[in-house]
Amino acid sequence: MAVTASPYRGLLDRLGQAQMSFVADTFKVMLLADTYTPDLIAHAFLDAVDPHEITGTGYTAGGVVLTSPAWAYLPTDNVTGFTADPVTWTTATFTTRYAVVYQDVGGVAADSPLVCVVDFGENKSPTGVDFGVVWADTGVLAGLIP
């Protein structure tokens, strides 16, 4: 199954209105169960997805902070997009289908905008091993603005 990443509708609008900064703001990645049905138009804030957050060993509610987030032009690929360092949950035992990247605004779900959803294509169920999300060489999202 192919892994895909798709931006939520409000991402470019928030960037264009200077409501989001990949340099100054905090971004997290949260894992969701297969009970979630992505809606890139209707879902705008974390409170739309957090009822589907997973639980399990090695996973902390709210997800993990993305390190080195950036919005950058990648000349090798001639695309502009969102990049960040890979994330890892250690000694993980859980089942997940989706990862959601969001801007953490003071821990308030109704105020925390969604950035993108990553569909793993099928459930992933690590058992007592590290589970990681390694973004593509072009980043978490790329090609939004060619």
Give pLDDT tens digits for 79-94.
Answer: 777 778 899 999 999 9
DSSP 137: T
Inter-CA distances, 142 with 19, 69, 139, Å:
20, 13, 6
* DSSP-assigned letters across all residues of 20-50: --TTTS-EEEEEE-TT----TTT--BGGGTG
Low-confidence spans in the chain with pLDDT less than 50:
143-146
Q: How many CB atoms lie within 10 A of CB 106?
A: 7
Residue keyed to tokens 């895909």: 4
- In this structure, the chain runs to a length of 146
Tally of structural domains, the chain:
1
Q: What is the pLDDT of residue 142?
A: 54
CA 101 to the chain's CA centroid: 2
- Token readout for 120 is 């793993």
State the pLDDT at residue 139. Answer: 58
Taking the C-alpha atoms of residue 107 and residue 47, their distance in angstroms, rounded to an integer, is 11
pTM for this prediction: 0.89
Name the residue range of residue 9's domain.
4-145
Q: Half-sphere exposure of residue 124, counting CA atoms within 13 Å on the CB side?
A: 23
CA angle 92, 94, 99 (to 5 degrees): 95
